Structures are given as structure tokens and as C-alpha cells.
Amino acid sequence: MYGAGDVRVENAPDPVIQQPTDAIVRIVRSCICGSDLHPYHSLPASEQGTPMGHEFLGVIEDLGSQVSGLRRGDLVVAPFAYSDNTCVFCREGLHTSCLNGGFWAAGGVGGGQAEAIRVPQARGTLVKLPVGEDSELLPSLLTLADVYGTGYHAAKQAEVNPRTTVAVIGDGAVGLMAVLSARRLGAERIILMGRHDDRTKLGIDFGATDVVPERGAEGVERVRELTGGQGVHAVLEAVGYREAYETAFGVVRPGGVISRVGVPQYEDAPIGFASLFGPNITLTGGPAPARAYIEELLPDVLEGRVEPGRVFDRTIGLEQVPDGYRAMNDRTALKVLIQP
Amino acid sequence: MYGAGDVRVENAPDPVIQQPTDAIVRIVRSCICGSDLHPYHSLPASEQGTPMGHEFLGVIEDLGSQVSGLRRGDLVVAPFAYSDNTCVFCREGLHTSCLNGGFWAAGGVGGGQAEAIRVPQARGTLVKLPVGEDSELLPSLLTLADVYGTGYHAAKQAEVNPRTTVAVIGDGAVGLMAVLSARRLGAERIILMGRHDDRTKLGIDFGATDVVPERGAEGVERVRELTGGQGVHAVLEAVGYREAYETAFGVVRPGGVISRVGVPQYEDAPIGFASLFGPNITLTGGPAPARAYIEELLPDVLEGRVEPGRVFDRTIGLEQVPDGYRAMNDRTALKVLIQP
């Protein structure tokens, strides 16, 4: 990406092992993330551009000398941050704060919207998948890289349980995964705030019990009506705009939780007596430690009990990636799968 | 209080029962709160003034016809918000959001810096104390009205436990009660950020293991040094100024919790990627449901295992209340006890 709206497909040198803890992965499936749309809207133009993509699964082609537990030919999935899986933060399940970790497409590491990628901290980062390259489960398995883990993080941080009334803000892929996750954690009332029919229908399949298409003050009023005037115990905010945050504290119940996983496109926002403090609202969330959740979420995907891969509604090759961004930006595609 | 800095002692009509759920309490001990200093700094001048005080214990003088479980002559303590103790929020322990509750010195209810007060929702609000009016425990019992429960709320909301490293911001009475509470919940490392020697010494008696007198960036650096560069799991913020909040996210560890009980004197503040979101910080807290904690904290006070009443370092009569405000504002008194 060379600037807002400027996505190009280019030949790049093949990645090679640089550290003994690296692996090289040939990418089998990748995708475009809702969060990729933020730079697509606002990235300053540059001469050198930046690689893109942070969700991929693929086959190990090469391994550094210190990587144990993995072999060439293994099909693996990578979370959207690499991590050693052994440091003090990883041991606490906060892999996104790994002392030796980092994010794709930054600091000399490539992006996942590519044919191949160098994976730092391969042993800690990559999780072997017990299926073949031709498995029909690949789209669902790919959601473990980010969107499913991110939706699940929202629900876990909000401590969703069978007694929790939930509102999910946003009907993008992460919002829909938040619905699926809240249902998995036992929530029996899940209000999905979104206005794209095809998406909210999928949300209902995933467990949403109510859909509120209204936004702003009207949306807040609808959710309050649906909850006897009191609001919901947990709001899972999967958008990232300040308006979504304001909706969140509009619909949350006193003593409730706002759990954010949409990357905030703002820094300052209301947190004083009139918003969070007076009614004892808890604000939580952040970049999901997707790595922490892969083993937990994997069995349901492998056994077909959940189908998070249904969020992909278009499949393209690498050459069509610029079209994929346009389609997601125009909301003509929910989430675009890339088959390099 | 007739405006900033303008506290007067006046004769007022004796309170009388207005609702069958009311009680009239003759006040035996009351006090001035650190949060009373906020209006003392900024209350707009008015002709009619406002009653003050929200912490008291006293003797029941009269009871409405629907108040059961209490008798005339009972010595009782009241939390800083009245509540029915039966509504959906009270049952969840969030008495400050009681559907039939409210705050003292507002809406036709008087303040606790007085000889007597009308108590709405008396049955839910008042807790009988098994001691006499002459008990030496009265100062410690009075802290159950607010400061002890408030410090405890900070620690509970932060889920302080034996594995938690804690920083307490502020060496006022609530900060010191947060230290005591964190210790009670098992924390073994408690860093008290405060610069008044007499107060931090009391903090050490209450369980603080380190004192950091530096403020701002220097204070943040000191706490980071004391925690191997990583910061603390839990920050208990007992001040309420935006600078204190900024110190809080400066010293908190990735994945940690900022628990605020100092009444925020700001509305907007940083909560985006660079402050809370990126490192997955949780922000929690609010007005403490002091009522919820009285039964839990009472036995330790009655049996002398804790002495929260040590935060009172001056005792005055009602006539000296204006002096009491001055002394707390000048920091020549930590917390002023009123014996009407």
C-alpha cells in the first residue's frame, strides 16, 4: 500500500531465514481485514510503500536451526502478532505484549497478503493444523489468525456468561465473531447492532437474538427498550470509531463492561463521571492475543461445531487484491479470502 | 457551602419523617471527605447554599411506619449513598445505582455535617453497629461510610490478589484505605505514590512496601524501576485529577487494570491505542457501593484487626467545620472527624 486507496501487487524478493528462530511459510490462504481499511482510508502517500496483511495459514518451506516442534511441509496457522509463547506476558496469555514479539508488515517482517513470508519466533507463533491443503475447513481455520480470536477476546474480556445480556456493535467480520463467541460462552440474549441485512442474517445464524439497525441516539434508545430501560451487561465494540464508543456507553448497564476490539481511531474520549465513572462502567479490550486462543477454539472448528469461515463471501487471487480492498471498502464484500 | 471556600454553620429546621421508609438519625460522628474539597475549590456562589457531608454514624431517633429491622436508639452507620438494598442493582452489589436510591445533600435530603439527618430507604441503608456511643471504635466504624469502602472498591474492582503488584496513587484517606484493602486481599507488593511523610508513614503501617514521592514522568519512571521496567498489575487511583490518570496508565503493566475511585475532575482523557488499547489495559471503578461492603469489612474493625480510623488526625465540633475544610485543604489535616 503506497497511500490511502493505493494498493499495488508487486514482485518482491523471496523471504529467507534471517534468525535461527525464523521459519519461511508458503502462504496457502490469506485475507483482507476490516482493520486494513483504516490505512486504506488514511495512510499518507509514500515512495517505498508498506507490505500488507496479518492473517495467513500456509506450509512451512524452511526452518531456522533453533525451531523445534515443527517440520517442513507442516500446514500451520499464524496469529496476527508473532510471539515467543514463553515470556512473562505470553505465559499470562497476553501474546500481543510478548517481549520478543511484534506485528506483521513492520520492522523488516513482511505481510500476509503475499506468496510467502518470514515468520520470526516460529516455534512460539505457528500452530500446526491437522488437515491438508485441500481441506474445506481452511477458511474457518484462517479465522483463528485474527477475527475469531478477536471476537472471542472481546467476549472473554467482558466475562460473558449465561447470565450476561450482550450488545455487539458492528456487523463486520469481527462483530459477527463476537456474536459467535458470546453464544459459545453461553449468552442467551445477544443484540447485534448493524444495518447490513446479509451480515445481520449471518449474525442471527451465529447466535444473535435481536438486530438493531438504528445508529446513534436512536440505536441507543432501541437497545434500552429491548433491555427494560437498563442497558446490557456487556458491550462488544467491534468498530473502532468514536461514535461506536459513544454508542457503547449509551447502551451499557450500570456496573457493565465495554470491551473494545475495534482498533480505536481516536485517542481522547469521555471517561468521566457522566460516562464511565458515575455508573461504574468497566472499559477493557485491546489487540487480541489470538495465539492464546487457538488451541481452545481449534477443536470446535475441526469438528464443524462452528463455521466462522462463513464470514468470507468472496475469494480472489493475489492479482485481485486491489479489487478486494475496494469491495470491502464499498461494503460489497464482508471479508475477502485470498488464495495466492 | 455557599460557594468555593465559603462554608458556614447555620441553624436549620429539625428533619422529620416524610416517607414511611424514612428514619431520623441523630448524628454522633461525621467527617469531611477529600471529595468535599472539589466543591470547596469550584462550587459556584449561590444564595441558598447546599448542605454538605455524606459520612455519618448516629442514633435512630424516629422511624417511618414501614421500616422494619431497626429500632429507636440503635447506633447505625450509613453509606455515602442511600439505597433500598433490594432492587436489581443492589442485589448485584451496585448500591450506588439503586433504582430507589440517591446521594446525601441533594434532592431534599440533608448532609451529614449536621446534628441530625433524614435517611430515606432507612431499612436498606442503615447498618446496626453492636457498640455503644462511647466506643473507641467509632472513628474506624465511621470509615465504613465511605473511605474504607471506597478504597476497598478500588482493590476489589482491580481484582487484587496475592499475585498482584499494586500501585496506589494518592496518600489521602482513600489512598491509604486502598493500601489497607490491597493488603487485606493479599497483595505483597504495594507501592504508594504520595509525598506527605506523615501520610505515607501511615501507609506503610497499613501495608505499603514502597513509597514513591515523585510525581509525573519522574514518578512513572520510579515505579517502572521498582517493577523491572514492566509496571504494576493494578493501579488504584485515589485522586481524581487527569494528571493522576495519566500517571496511572504510565505505571500500569500491559494487561493490567486501572481502578479509579477518585472522583474524576475531567471528562475526556486518552483511551486509544497509545494509552489503554494497545497494551490491553482495563479501566474500572466508580463511586463505591459502600453499602455492599459494610458487613464484609465490619468484623475486622470490631475485632481490632484493622484500624482504618487512624486516618482521622483531628477532631472538631460543628462550629469548627469551616476550619476543618481549611485544614484539609491546606493539607495540615489528613481527615477531620466531626463530633456534633
The three-state (H, E, C) secondary structure of B216-250, written as one string: HHHHHHHHHHHCCCCCEEEEEECCCCHHHHHHHHH
Query: If you measure CA to CA, which chain B residue comes closest to A270?
Result: B268
Q: What share of chain B is helix, strand, coil (3-state, %, to 5)?
A: 35, 20, 45
Cα gap B262→B170, rounded to integer Å: 9
Q: Are B142 and B27 in contact (CB under 8 A)?
A: no
Place of cell 477475527: A147
Query: If you measure CA to CA, which chain A residue comes closest to B94?
Result: A255
H-helix segments, chain A: 37-42, 88-91, 122-125, 138-142, 147-157, 173-184, 197-206, 216-226, 242-251, 290-302, 321-329
| Cβ pair B264:A282 closer than 8 A | no
Query: If you measure CA to CA, which chain B residue comes closest to A88?
Result: B230
| Cβ pair B271:A271 closer than 8 A | yes
How far B257 CA sits from the closest chain A CA (Å)? 9
**How high is the pLDDT of residue B144?**
98
Distances (CA, A) of A63 to A17, A30, A54, A98: 7, 21, 20, 21
Q: Are B141 and B148 in contact (CB under 8 A)?
A: no
Q: Which residues pair with A168 in a beta bridge?
A: A192, A236
Q: What is the largest CA-CA distance in chain B?
A: 61
Tell me the CB-side half-sphere exposure of residue B96, using CA atoms within 13 A. 23
> Based on the number of CB atoms within 10 Å of its own CB, is A313 exposed (0-12), middle (13-18) or buried (19 or more)?
middle
| CA of residue B24 relative to chain centroid, distance | 23
| CA of residue B117 relative to chain centroid, distance | 19
Q: Which three cell numbers stand for residue A82?
A: 508473532
Place of cell 504495594: B190
Residue numbers in chain B where pLDDT is lower than 70: none
| Cβ pair B277:A270 closer than 8 A | no
Cα gap A104→B103, rounded to integer Å: 51
Cα gap A266→B17, rounded to integer Å: 51
How far A241 CA sits from the closest chain B CA (Å)? 10
Cα gap A78→A25, rounded to integer Å: 10
Q: What share of chain A is helix, strand, coil (3-state, %, to 5)?
A: 35, 20, 45
> Reduced to 3 states, what is the DSSP secondary structure of residue A305?
coil
| CA of residue B5 relative to chain centroid, distance | 21
How far B223 CA sits from the closest chain A CA (Å)? 18
DSSP A12-59: -PPP---STT-EEEEEEEEE--GGGHHHHHHPPP-SS-------EEEE
Cα gap B123→B71, rounded to integer Å: 10
| Cβ pair A267:B264 closer than 8 A | no
**How high is the pLDDT of residue A283?**
98
* A residues 112-171 lying closer than 8 A (beta carbon) to B: 157
Q: What is the per-residue burial (b if ≥16 Cβ within 10 Å, else e) of B323-333?
A: ebbbbbbeeeb
**How high is the pLDDT of residue B88?**
94
| CA of residue B92 relative to chain centroid, distance | 20
- Contacts with B254 from chain A: Cβ below 8 Å: 89, 94, 97
For chain A, 340 residues long, the average pLDDT of each consecutive 10-residue run is 97 96 98 95 95 98 97 98 97 96 94 98 98 97 98 98 97 98 97 97 98 97 97 97 97 98 95 97 98 98 97 98 97 96
Q: How far apart are the first and last CA of chain B?
A: 17
| Cβ pair A273:B267 closer than 8 A | yes
- Which helix (H) or strand (E) element contains residue A81? strand A81-82
Q: Are B154 and B260 in contact (CB under 8 A)?
A: yes
What lies within 8 Å, CB to CB, of A305 at 6+ separation is none
Q: Which three cell numbers stand for residue A119?
A: 515468520
| Cβ pair B269:A272 closer than 8 A | yes
Q: Are A230 and A198 in contact (CB under 8 A)?
A: no
Residue B159 DSSP class? T
For B193-220, the pLDDT digits (tens) are 999 999 999 999 999 999 999 999 999 9
A272 touches chain B (CB under 8 A): yes
Q: How far apart are the first and last CA of chain A?
A: 17
- Residue B210: CB atoms within 10 Å: 17
- Contacts with B271 from chain A: Cβ below 8 Å: 264, 267-269, 271, 283
Cα gap A258→B279, rounded to integer Å: 16
Cα gap B199→B294, rounded to integer Å: 24
Q: Which three cell numbers stand for residue B98?
A: 439503586
Cα gap A321→A57, rounded to integer Å: 17
Cα gap A46→A53, rounded to integer Å: 18
> Based on the number of CB atoms within 10 Å of its own CB, is B267 exposed (0-12), middle (13-18) or buried (19 or more)?
middle
Domains parsed from chain B with CATH numbers: 23-146+289-338 (3.90.180.10), 151-285 (3.40.50.720)
> Based on the number of CB atoms within 10 Å of its own CB, is B108 exposed (0-12), middle (13-18) or buried (19 or more)?
exposed
Q: Which three cell numbers stand for residue A220?
A: 441507543
Residue positions counted in chain B: 340
Cα gap B285→A281, rounded to integer Å: 7
CA nearest neighbour of A106 among A39, A172, A151: A39
